[in-house]
Structure 1
Amino acid sequence: MKHRHHQSSLALIVAASLLGLSLQAMAKDLHVAYAGSMGTVMDLHLGPAFAKAHNVQYQGEGQGAYGLARLIAAHKLRTDVFVSITPGPIEVLIKAGLVKEAFPVASTAMCIAYSPSSPYAKDFKEAAEGKVPWYKILQKPGVVFGRTDPKTDPQGQNIVFTFMLAERYYHQPDLVNKVLGAVENPRQIFTEA
């Protein structure tokens, strides 16, 4: 098995024009809503660096990007900047007339993260080395697979999509059902910390 990275667009969408604000017109507080998976990058790196460079206070809020986009579109959440990892949530804002365009600025790969103290760590290491198919490890009894909610988080949607593609690519009928179960499977859905 070749080691493959499933590429997905990381559309770090910066819509500073969301409320028609320019940097000069912005108050001393910069409110940024971002996809939950961007938490570390936004809160530990980009946010503080931008705040320092532009002499503003950074205030970040991370959640599922679709949920944030819907709150912004409904005018329930005020933000100066919105960062999404996929274009779908941006479409919500475009349809609401809040954004005209957005630009992808980076990309990422889908990967499987596991605990080195997991009883299956050796198996996952072998899968990473191409010695055993990764999807076989995920089907072992006792393996707990966690993902985010595909209804509110593009990353959750990308996981489902990745498994659908893997099912076809690896000729593994019913792989989606064998590993994920139902698309909305509460036993697997977790929020990002």
Structure 2
Amino acid sequence: MIRKLLASTVTPIVLIAGIVTATPVFAQSDTVNVLYAGSLVNVMERSIGPAFEKATGLPFRGYAAGSNKIANEIKGKLRRGDVFISASPKVNDSLTGAANGDHVTWYVNFAESPLMIGYNPQSRFAPQFKSRRWDQVLQQPGIRIGRTDPKLDPKGAFTVAMVTRAAELYHQPDLVEKTLGVTENSEQVLPEETLVGRLQSGQLDAGFFYSTETSDLKIPAIRPAPELQAKASYTLTILSDAPNRDGASSFVDFLLSAQGRALLKQHRVDVIKPTVSGNLQAVPPSVQAVIDAAAQ
């Protein structure tokens, strides 16, 4: 029995180039599972996640997808997590209240990111984006456009709304049809977490992205006219059935701290004064304290 216990708790030893190193072992219950909007995949996996692990010693595990898709999976009990980060406050409504499983009782608005039209600089259409209005370029025959599903991701819904408003602003009643086709156009609609990669690899000529994606990854982009502006409004919450509530609080504390906000800014996320919606009494004291500090 003693031998089995020691075998289960000992830290594995790894020999690398003649140097003996200890590989830390975390209990699975220590892992903080963060479900987040796919537009944040770069900042979360390359910056926030590793920095959180270094600062707290807690392992980070991220899952990226369209915000509505994640909410549907939570509601359908297909996926569990500790923290949920959405690109739109409205997504939280689908998880609020007894009829929706009471998964969300409060959330914090903490950052924003405007919607842009990004393009591949190697595309044959790239020069046109420098000399013509974006809607005119997107109507060119043969151009390959990427966007997310408006039913699964706020960015997809913002895209359709923005092009619809552009049709009115530029007096082009058929603009949506010529650029996007039908709402569920299978040739354009792609998972949010793969959209950037497809553009960078040349599979797409242009697409709709948030500014954090285009700035962070050096994707050339066009910002639409102010009258057409749409933007992500990022929110975070600790899910009511979070398996690791202490770890979740630690992650939220870190993300809203001066260090976390600085990392977001480095990745061109527009950090705003955090505001709480919902049941204020349900917000953990440590989270409320860091919100108060960030608001000063």
Q: Which has the greater radius of gyration?
A: 2
Higher relative helix content? 2
Q: Give distance in 1, aligned partners of 2:51 and 2:161.
A: 34
Match of 1:47 in 2: 49
- Alignment partner of 1:118 out of 123, 128, 131: 123
Is residue 155 of structure 2 the alignment partner of residue 155 of structure 1?
yes
Q: Give how far 1:36 is off.
A: 1.3
Is residue 106 of structure 2 the alignment partner of residue 101 of structure 1?
yes
Map residues 52-91 of structure 1 onto 2, 5 A cutoff.
Answer: 52-91=54-93
Find the residue that maps to 1:90 and give its secondary structure.
Answer: helix
Counterpart code for 2:39: S
Find the residue that maps to 2:35 and give its secondary structure.
Answer: strand
Identify unmatched segments of 5+ residues in structure 1. Answer: 1-25, 127-131
Find the residue that maps to 1:113 and give its secondary structure.
Answer: strand
Find the residue that maps to 2:33 and give its secondary structure.
Answer: strand
Counterpart code for 2:177: N
Find the residue that maps to 2:181 and give its secondary structure.
Answer: coil
Q: Give distance in 1, aligned partners of 2:120 and 2:142.
A: 14
Match of 1:141 in 2: 141
Q: Give how far 1:75 is off.
A: 2.2
Match of 1:13 in 2: none
Q: Give how far 1:180 is off.
A: 0.5
Q: Give distance in 2, aligned partners of 1:84 and 1:140.
A: 33
Match of 2:17 in 1: none
**What do the CA deviations read for 1:17-49 (whole angstroms, capped 9, x no partner)?**
xxxxxxxxx942000011111111111111222
Please report the TM-score for the alignment, with normalisation by the length of structure 1: 0.79
Q: Give how far 1:184 is off.
A: 0.7
Q: Give how far 1:72 is off.
A: 1.0
Please report the TM-score for the alignment, with normalisation by the length of structure 2: 0.53
- Alignment partner of 2:33 out of 31, 34, 42: 31
Q: Give distance in 2, aligned partners of 1:76 and 1:114.
A: 35
CA contact under 8 A between 1:66 and 1:88: conserved in structure 2?
A: no
Counterpart code for 1:116: P
Q: Give how far 1:142 is off.
A: 1.1
Higher relative strand content? 2
* % same residue: 39
Find the residue that maps to 2:136 and give its secondary structure.
Answer: helix
Q: Give distance in 2, aligned partners of 1:48 and 1:75.
A: 28
Identify unmatched segments of 5+ residues in structure 2. Answer: 1-27, 195-296
Q: Give how far 1:89 is off.
A: 2.0
Give the ranges of 4+ consecutive aligned residues of structure 1 lying more than 6 Å apart after TM superposition: none
Q: Give distance in 1, aligned partners of 2:50 and 2:88.
A: 23
Q: Give distance in 2, aligned partners of 1:39 and 1:182.
A: 28
Counterpart code for 1:38: L
Q: Give distance in 2, aligned partners of 1:158 and 1:52.
A: 36
